[in-house]
Each structure stands twice: as structure tokens, then as C-alpha cells.
Structure 1
Amino acid sequence: MGGEWPVGWTRMPLADTGKWLSGGTPSTANAEYWDGDIPWISAASLKTFRIAKSDRGLTELGARSGSRLVDAGAVLFVVRGMSLKSEFRIGVAGRRVAFGQDCKAIIAADGIDPVFLAHAIQARTSQILSMVEETSHGTGRLDTERLQEIEIGIPSVSEQQRIVAAHAVIERRIAALERETQKRASVLEALVAARLHRYSGISGTLRQVSESIDAGITLGPQRTPRGNVAEYLRVANVRKGVIDVADLAEMEEEAKDRPRYELVVGDALVVEGHANPEEIGRCAVVGPKESGLLYQNHLFRVRFSQVIPEFGMLWMNSETVRSYWKTRCATSSGLYTVNREMLADVPFPKVRRSEQDELLRVWRSGLCIIRQMWLRVEKLRVVQHGIMEDLLAGDFCGREVCESLR
């Protein structure tokens, strides 16, 4: 967006779009401040555009004792946090909320629709992210004065509302497609779970169907990257059924590492420990993108000998194995952990190759459809972004596109 707006629009720096407010955090040591019904919005909890809830709540006393209260319609956005390294989080309060010091709020001035204002700021995401500075703790930070200098175009209130309505048209289409995609994913998960349940009574253990079970590299000062740097997988990279390589860590590689710890296609990685007992032992299979990476010691690598790796992954994520971990894992420090012997003793049925193939055929077919649907969602998001950029620049061709989507 070049900052050229139609006749009748007002060029305005963000500093003049409303009243800017800073947030705060009440003392966490005072129980009278917390667990109330006022959502407390932080950098971590600001995840949706329509802000109405948080994982932490304040009492009336807490909200007035170190935090900041704003009513519905306040525009909130993150100005400090790890998320700023990759995304700019912004939204509009749908009810009265409090917020922390990692966020700022704008109470829109008269003549400015708060939802329009939030969209106008959001459209400047690329520019805003280019302004992010890194603190000594490694988190991202936005300088308020620089942020306030950014200019946006303000049309009449009626035009602002038409632009907001145009965005809502596409948002409804996207939301409907997301619901349908999530429904298909739930149906597929239930179908796979039902098929796996057939084998829950068959005796056997993981050690009987695996070639090896090995923990990864133990980190320490000697592993600080220096000259021979290698990327590796951590617990955070291994989700249920998926390995995320978007944020790989680095370590100093030693000569002995590759023969012992290099991952190959078909290796299954199992999470050793987690604060949430539901996440213990979650499993994912290494694909071509992850092949050649190393892995840390809070992950176990399983190499199957008598099982198709994807079938092994589905079984390791099944309710039967979840139940096993719940009865075996204990914690004394808030972290539930798995050791190698416990992992080797995981109940694992011996299933004919033809049955594994049949289950995987159904699973892969369903997964392909779901991925195509998510791709459609992503394409609609791109279309939405382009249309909003046009509308916020005063190009009304975008409105015609919105009308065609109704």
C-alpha cells in the first residue's frame, strides 16, 4: 500500500486514530487478583481477531490493581513477545477485557470504526514486522513512537462500514470451509481410531516390532554452535502426526553424530516428556524434508522392523497407547516423562501387512482430501488479503469480488 488515497479520504498517522493505552500485570502472588471472569489478554493469548476470552482471568480487584481495563471495541495488538518474530497479532475486544504490558490498546476516535481501524493496521503487517527489534532476552519488541508514525487512510464512516462488511463476506466463506475441513478431519480420526481399536486386545510390545529404540543427543555447553553447525529437532518440532521444521535449532556437530543420530525417512520420533499428560509419547514419522537432521535426547527414535512406519505412528498416537502412558507415567516436578524401557514395553499388536496397507490406504486418501481443503482455505486467505489491500487503498473493484462471493 503506497499511501495514496482517494479524494475525501483523510491521511492520518496512527497516533491520531484514538487514545493509546498500555497494559499491566497484577501481582501473581495475590490470589485475590486472579481466576476471575475478566479475560486478561497477553501476547500469548491474543490469537484471534475477535477477542472475547483468555486462558487467564482477573477479578475486578485484580483488573484495577496493576492491569488496564478496556470496553468492547478496543483495538488490541502485541508490541512485545516471541510471536513478533513471525507475525503481528491484532484484534478487537468483543467484551470488556484487561490486558498485559506486552500489548497496547487503541480506543478509536470519533468517526473511526474500531474494526476498520484494526483491519487498516493489520494491512500494514509487513511494514510493522520490519520495525521489530530484538531485546536482550531474544524476544521481539515494537517501538511505540515509530508505530504511531505509520499513516493510514480514513474514509467516511459509511465507507468504513462497507469495507468491514466486505471483509466479513469472505470471512464467513472461509469459516464455513474451515468448519467443513475440521469436520472431515474429526470423521477421519474417528474412523482410524475405530479400526485401531480392533487390535487393542492383541498381545505384543513395541520392542518385538522394532529394530531399535534410541534417545538423541544430550545438549550442553560443548554443543554451542561454533564452526561445525547442524540443525536438530526438539520436542517442540514433533507434534502428533506432524514434524514442524519451521523453527529448527542449531548445535555444534561432532564426528560421531551422523552414524548414531542422523534421521532417515521412516524413522518415528516419540516425545519423552511433557507437562500435559495427554501429550506424552506423541509420535510423528520422518519424511524427506526431515531426513538428514539430528535429534535431541528428549526425543526417542524408533526404527520399525515389522511395521509400516505410518501404521506404527498411528498406533503410537492411539487411545490404547494413551491409556498405557496414563497408568505408567508419574511426575514429581510437573513434567511427565517416559524412559526407554517403558517405551519398549508399549503394547503393540502384530498386524498382517495387508491389514496395515488397507488402514493406511483409507487414512492417506482422507488426509489428501483434508489437505486439499486446507489449501483452499489458504488460497481464500490470500484472496482476502489482496481484496482488503485494494479496499483500504480506495480501490473499489475489490467490493465487486466480495459481492460475487455472497
Structure 2
Amino acid sequence: MSELPAGWIRAPLGEIAHISSGGTPNRTRASYWGGDIPWVTTGEIRFNTITDTAEKLTPEGLRQSAAKLFPAGTLLMAMYGQGKTRGQVARLGIEATTNQACAAIQLRSGTDPDYVYQFLANSYTALRELGNAGSQQNLNAGIIRNISVPLPPLHEQTRIARIAGVWDRAIDTTGRLLDNSRHQKRHLMHLLLSRRRSVVNARAHWAQVDFDTVFERITNKNTDGDRNVLTISAQHGLVSQRDYFSRHVASDDLSGYTRLTTGDFAYNRSSSSGYPVGAIKPLVAYDSGVVSGLYICFRQKPGVEVDNDFYRLYFEAGMLNEAITSIAQEGARNHGLLNVSLKDFFKLPLCLPPLDVQRRIAAILRVAEAEERVIVAQRETLREEKRALMRDLLSGRRRVRATAAEPA
């Protein structure tokens, strides 16, 4: 742990804040829910200021549960949750209650809550690791109380928090630009892929064929001993488990896995955000790899002239969603996956426009994707620059000057 500048101290978070958690009223009691008291869950803690919640309690629900009402300005930390949730922090912009998975951090006087928020947000990766001891991967109040916080004088805390806030606003602005770009791209995808806008030949005939007219199932197993195990990421497509999870999570015996090569597709029937009936992704990042037999894998049939990238975009736009929903056995799931039979899947109706139309549509949508990637890169640059600056400011390696109205 590096030495702090003169005038700075380190203090456990539990010494400068009161830390507690909330609770969940009985879900079977309708009178506890649907009121006007905001109730925060960990999924709403996303390095943000919370001004509303998806669920709300009644006064009776608050009284009859372990939920507590916390004032605006309280910091929240997700102690456990799915995916990247654990360790994320937020500020309450309103008076609200929380569930038991949220730690409520109420700073005592003499400490700037915005400074502590910035410190905790900047320490996200390290905080997640605190919950990885043994088999227990959750944070808890004891761990959070022992987090060591570097504390400069109060006026310097406030200045650091203000500087960080300027970067946050720039990042948020870029995020809104990205959301708008993604919305426009998706709108354009649906216009072009549903034929509501013609791009080449308005009179061109779009055939409707069975899926197996264009694509064939991949059945070849991993006889070559390929160790590049792939998984489907909604954002990044087919990615190596080593890259995505930073570890190998598949079994040692991969002989039963399906082997893919560049351009092959895999369908993961598990629903996720933005993919209500699962995601179909092509292999583009690697020459080859293997996937679990739970995926439905397919490739372009020999002798069929189609643009592979057109169908990547077609699947990404969810053009098969309605048809997949119609063949899924309602309420039936296998290994947590939508129960879609191979026979039904390969008889799904598929649009087949002329090849020149496919290529033109794909070219237009690739431009939209490129514009989106530029904004993503801009936002990541801002985030990295802020991280580097905060490392210096929070360690005292770079000092901030007091203004004329502040003590030196």
C-alpha cells in the first residue's frame, strides 16, 4: 500500500460511515407492494444516481419487513447479484428502501459522500475480488466495513469529486450518443430487412424458403482436439471462454463438442437482455473453436449463393424471433434453454432476397455498425483517461489546488 501525502489518512469505511442493508417484504402479501416508497434492487445499482425504481412498497410493506428508508445521498453497493453486478455502486438521488443484497453506506459528517462514491467506483475490480475468498463470492457488511479509504482534507475530497464529476458527465453524454446510434441502427435494420425501405431494386423478388434451403446443420465433433472453447456473448458474439471469463470453464473432455470454423453460426437458445428467444452469432474472431452440443450450429449449404454477413445482420435484428416463438414448446425448457426442436428449427421460414440486394443491405448496415464502434471507442477512451486520472488523484500522486474560497 503506497504512502499517502502529509495531511492524508487511511480509515476503514466502517469508521467513517454507518453501513446497513435492507430487506424484501413478503411477496405473497399484495398489500405490501405497489405503493409509492421506492425499493432498490441490485440490478438498479449501475454506477449511477438512482431517481426512480421499478418496484415500490406501501407503508405497510415497509413496517412489516426488514426494509429501511434511507435518505437521498446514501451510497449503495451491490453485495451480490448476477454477472458484473457485485461491487457496483450508486448514489440515492431520492429517499428509498433497498433489498437485503444492497449495502447502504451513510457517511458521517466530515467526509464528502461524492468523494467516497468516486473512490468506491474506481475500486470496483478490487472490491469484487474481496468477495472471492473460498467458495463464497459475495460481499458482506463485514468486508465492506473493512475497506480502507484514503482521505485527504475535506476541501480536497470535494475538489477531487468535482473533477471526477466533469469526466462522468462527458462519459454520460457519450453514452447517450451511443444509445441514440444503436437505436437508429436497429431502426434502419428493421426498415431494410422487413422490406419497408428498398435499397437496390424495388421490384426485386424476396423469396420465402425453409431454413434448410439455405443452411445445413453442423454435426462434426471435435476430433482434432481443439481446445478453444467458445461461448456466445450478446455483445461480442462467439468468444473464447478464456477471453470472456478469464478462465476455462468447460469440462476437460471436449470430444463431444461441436467444431466450428470461420463463418459458421451457433444458436444459443437461452434468453438474455435484447435476445428474448436466444442469440444467433457467427464465428468471426477465430479460425476455429468448439461449442457445447446444447447449441444449434449451422453453415451455408454448398452451392447456395448467399451473403453470410447479410444473414448475420438478419439474425441480429431478430427477424426470426416471431417464428422461433411459434415453434417453441410453451413453458418447456431443457437445461434452462428454450425447447426448440432441430426439425422445427430447420423448417423455419427464411427471407431470401436476390444476392445483390443482400450485399447492398449488408454494406449499408456495416456503415451504421462502424459509426457505433467509433462512439464505443470514444467512450472507452474517456473511461480509461478518467481511471488513470483517478488513480493519481486518489493516491495523492497528483494534487488539486484549492480555490480562493477554500482553505489551502
- Report the TM-score range of the alignment, normalised by the length of the smaller protein: 0.7 to 0.9
Structure 1 residues 177-227: Cα deviation after superposition (integer angstroms, max 9, x where no partner): 22222322322222232221228963212111113266999xxxxxxxxxx
Structure 1 residues 28-56: Cα deviation after superposition (integer angstroms, max 9, x where no partner): 33232234443333333322321234444
- Give the residue type in structure 2 aligned to 1:34: W
Alpha-carbon deviation of 1:152? 2.4
- Are 1:185 and 2:189 counterparts? no
Alignment equivalent of 2:158, drawn from 154, 158, 161: 161
Matched length: 380
Give the fraction of aligned pairs with identical amino acids, expressed as a percent.
21
Q: In structure 1, how many angstroms separate the alpha carbons of the residues matched to 2:252 and 2:380?
A: 37
Equivalent pair of 1:50/1:92 in contact (CA under 8 Å): yes
2:75 is matched with which residue?
Answer: 75
2:198 is matched with which residue?
Answer: none
- Are 1:117 and 2:116 counterparts? yes
What 5-or-longer segments of structure 1 have no aligned partner?
Answer: 218-227, 401-406
The equivalences for 1:4-403 within 5 A come to 4-7=4-7, 9-64=8-63, 65-81=65-81, 83=83, 88-134=87-133, 136=135, 140-142=137-139, 144-198=141-195, 202-212=207-217, 232-233=229-230, 237-239=232-234, 242-245=237-240, 246-247=244-245, 249-253=249-253, 255=255, 257=256, 261-272=258-269, 274=271, 279-289=276-286, 291-297=288-294, 299-305=295-301, 306=304, 307-318=306-317, 320-333=319-332, 337-396=339-398
Alpha-carbon deviation of 1:301? 1.0
Structure 1 residues 243-301: Cα deviation after superposition (integer angstroms, max 9, x where no partner): 3541364124264x36xx1121111122335499961153211123383122232x211
Equivalent pair of 2:111/2:154 in contact (CA under 8 Å): yes
Q: Secondary structure at the match of 1:110?
A: coil
When the two chains are superposed, the root-mean-square deviation of aligned CA atoms in Å is: 3.4
Structure 1 residues 346-405: Cα deviation after superposition (integer angstroms, max 9, x where no partner): 2223333332222222222332232132112111101111222322334556789xxxxx
2:405 is matched with which residue?
Answer: none
Q: Secondary structure at the match of 2:190?
A: helix
- Give the residue type in structure 2 aligned to 1:202: A
Equivalent pair of 2:272/2:278 in contact (CA under 8 Å): no
What 5-or-longer segments of structure 2 have no aligned partner?
Answer: 196-203, 403-408
Q: In structure 1, how many angstroms separate the alpha carbons of the residues matched to 2:318 and 2:262?
A: 25
Equivalent pair of 2:80/2:87 in contact (CA under 8 Å): no
CA 185–296 in structure 1, closer or farther in 2 if over 3 Å, else same: same
- Give the residue type in structure 1 aligned to 2:387: H
Equivalent pair of 2:208/2:349 in contact (CA under 8 Å): yes
CA 277–152 in structure 1, closer or farther in 2 if over 3 Å, else same: closer
Query: What's the TM-score, normalizing by structure 1?
Result: 0.80
Structure 1 residues 63-94: Cα deviation after superposition (integer angstroms, max 9, x where no partner): 3312222111111112334557x962111111
* Farther-moved stretch of structure 1 (180-189 vs 142-151): 142-151
Q: In structure 2, how many angstroms separate the alpha carbons of the residues matched to 1:350 and 1:83?
A: 38
1:404 is matched with which residue?
Answer: none
* Farther-moved stretch of structure 1 (238-247 vs 279-288): 238-247
Q: In structure 2, how many angstroms separate the alpha carbons of the residues matched to 1:211 and 1:128?
A: 47
CA 250–191 in structure 1, closer or farther in 2 if over 3 Å, else same: same
Q: In structure 2, how many angstroms separate the alpha carbons of the residues matched to 1:59 and 1:39?
A: 9
- Give the residue type in structure 1 aligned to 2:160: I
CA 14–280 in structure 1, closer or farther in 2 if over 3 Å, else same: same
Q: In structure 1, how many angstroms separate the alpha carbons of the residues matched to 2:80 and 2:372?
A: 35
Higher helix fraction (1 or 2): 1
Q: In structure 2, how many angstroms separate the alpha carbons of the residues matched to 1:254 and 1:150?
A: 42
Q: In structure 1, how many angstroms separate the alpha carbons of the residues matched to 2:270 and 2:110?
A: 53
Query: What's the TM-score, normalizing by structure 2?
Result: 0.80
Q: In structure 1, how many angstroms separate the alpha carbons of the residues matched to 2:48 and 2:129?
A: 21
Equivalent pair of 1:5/1:153 in contact (CA under 8 Å): no
